[in-house]
């Protein structure tokens, strides 16, 4: 899910939204602050905008939706980004991972509106917007499902549910609650090696970084997806539960992963499992791709308009010398080169697919 947030509405916009004919490129924004959740570079210290739990994987940059206008909601106003901390890593055991396989592949999950806990505020009415996009609209919020299977629920600005306290102040308990919620719709726990929490709210501060204050308005738990230590990037499952045990922000996109992709990932990972195997592979890569990388399963993002596709790459964040820079026009001023997420196939060839 690379790229910007897509426009999905008609009453308000937050940041840069882009409509793409009823699909969502990345339906994730909270209170006007946006972030890509799916770039490998999200593990960069400069991008740790959330807290991972000891039960799971990696740091990742995450923000949930505050409003999406095709759903018919109105956006709240925010004055500051979330504040987060980093956490620990873990992987699912081989035994648990093996139990995940269904005919060699990984099962997906489909949102079930009959099991929804979204805080509509009233009995929702169904609106078939055409093109395969449907939405359910209540007095306080709306929930939509796209042809890709992506589900997104967002609240209206000023909805009373915004003011309710979190379902729990314990991030681990919140993550378990969100997992149970999506398990009821088909998400398998064996595909969830970890989870994370993102805190959001409002704040004030000086441009130079001084005199900053922040007021938290709650946290959202996101489930990471993976298999046997191999992360699956573009899948989504997150929710924010408040004290009434309903959600004020949620999204699910969890497609099935074909058996040939899973087997290719396992073989790729096995080839790099020994120091000699890793060294031989890294010898195929360019000098700026010699840092710590990992085998990753990618698949079409929720905003993809083409046929579903999935693949396997070795992803690594480029290394940049501390004094690296480039001339900015005729001014002679050097601008620091930012690390980038790089992807390669099993033969060391660059992969530039925008999933």
pLDDT in tens, the chain (355 residues): 333 223 233 222 222 222 222 223 233 332 222 222 232 223 222 222 343 333 333 222 233 333 444 555 544 433 232 333 333 333 445 555 667 888 999 999 999 999 999 999 999 999 987 788 999 999 999 999 999 999 999 999 999 999 999 999 898 999 999 999 999 999 999 999 988 766 554 444 444 444 444 344 568 999 999 999 999 999 999 999 999 999 999 999 999 999 999 999 999 999 999 999 999 999 999 999 999 999 999 999 988 888 999 999 999 999 876 555 554 555 556 565 678 899 999 999 999 988 8
pLDDT computed for residue 74 by the predictor? 46
274 and 247 housed in the same domain? no
283 and 237 belong to one structural domain: no
Q: Are residues 79 and 108 in the same domain?
A: yes
Examine residue 33 and state whether it is found in any structural domain, yes or no: yes
Residue among 102, 97, 95, 96 nearest 259 (CA)? 102
**Whether residue 147 sits in one domain with residue 100:** yes
Specify whether 110 is located in the same domain as 37.
Answer: yes
Instruction: Write down the pLDDT at residue 114.
Output: 96
Residues 208 and 290 in one domain: no
Q: With beta carbons less than 8 A apart as the criterion, state whether 153 and 249 touch.
A: yes
Are 127 and 177 in the same domain? Answer: yes
What integer pLDDT is reported at residue 105 of this predicted model? 96
Give the residue from 253, 288, 306 where a domain finishes. 253
- By DSSP bridging, strand 230-232 and strand 293-299 are parallel
Give the total number of structural domains in the chain.
Answer: 2
| Domain membership flag for residue 82 | yes
Query: 98 with 118, same domain?
Result: yes
What residues have CB less than 8 Å from 213, skipping those under 6 apart?
203, 204, 205
Distance, CA of 247 to CA of 161 (rounded, Å): 9
pTM value surpassing 0.75: no
Whether residue 242 sits in one domain with residue 202: yes
Same domain, 184 and 145: yes
Residue numbers of the domain that contains 324: 260-344
Q: Do 186 and 164 share a structural domain? A: yes
Q: Which pLDDT score is estimated for 24? A: 30
Of 236, 253, 270, the residue at which a domain comes to its end is 253
**227 shares its domain with 110:** yes
Would you state the pLDDT for residue 217?
Answer: 54
- Please tell me the predicted confidence (pLDDT) of residue 199: 57
- Determine the Cα–Cα distance for residues 315 and 291; give it in Å rounded to an integer: 10
Q: Which residues neighbour 141 within 8 Å (Cβ) at sequence distance 6 or greater?
A: 71, 73, 118, 119, 120, 121, 153, 154, 155, 156, 159, 161, 248
CA 46 – CA 64 distance, rounded (Å): 19
Question: Which of 223, 253, 283 is a domain's end point?
Answer: 253
SS3 category, 97:
helix
Joined together, the tokens standing for residue 196 give 């994370």
Residue 16 lies in a domain: no
């Amino acid at each position: 899910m690379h790229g910007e947030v897509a426009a999905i509405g008609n009453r308000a916009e937050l940041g840069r939204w882009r409509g793409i004919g009823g699909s969502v490129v990345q339906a994730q924004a909270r209170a006007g602050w946006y972030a890509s959740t799916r770039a490998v570079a999200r593990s960069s210290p400069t991008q740790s905008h959330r807290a991972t739990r000891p039960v799971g994987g990696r740091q990742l940059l995450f923000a949930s939706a505050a409003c999406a206008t095709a759903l018919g909601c109105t956006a709240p106003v925010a004055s500051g980004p979330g504040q987060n901390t980093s956490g620990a890593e873990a992987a699912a055991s081989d035994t648990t991972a093996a139990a995940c396989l269904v005919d060699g592949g990984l099962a997906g999950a489909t949102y079930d509106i009959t099991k929804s806990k979204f805080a509509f505020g009233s009995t929702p009415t169904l609106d078939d917007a055409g093109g395969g996009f449907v939405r359910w609209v209540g007095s306080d919020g709306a929930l939509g499902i796209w042809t890709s299977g992506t589900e997104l629920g967002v609240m209206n600005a000023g909805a009373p549910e915004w003011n309710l306290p979190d379902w729990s102040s314990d991030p681990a308990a919140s993550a378990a609650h969100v997992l149970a919620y999506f398990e009821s719709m088909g998400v398998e726990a064996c595909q969830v090696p970890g989870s994370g929490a993102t805190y959001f709210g409002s704040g004030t501060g000086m441009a130079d970084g001084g005199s900053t204050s922040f007021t938290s308005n709650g946290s959202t738990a996101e489930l990471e997806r993976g298999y046997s230590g191999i992360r699956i990037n573009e899948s989504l499952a997150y929710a924010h539960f408040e004290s009434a045990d309903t959600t004020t922000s949620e999204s699910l996109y969890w497609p099935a992963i074909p058996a040939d992709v899973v087997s290719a990932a396992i073989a790729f990972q096995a080839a790099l499992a020994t120091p000699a195997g890793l060294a031989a592979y890294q010898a195929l890569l360019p000098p700026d791709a010699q840092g710590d990388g990992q085998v990753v399963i990618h698949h079409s993002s929720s905003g993809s308009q083409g046929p579903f596709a999935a693949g396997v790459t070795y992803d690594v964040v480029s290394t940049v010398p501390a004094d690296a820079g480039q001339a900015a026009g005729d001014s002679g001023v050097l601008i620091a080169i930012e690390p980038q997420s790089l992807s390669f196939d099993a033969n060391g060839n660059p992969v530039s697919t925008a999933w």
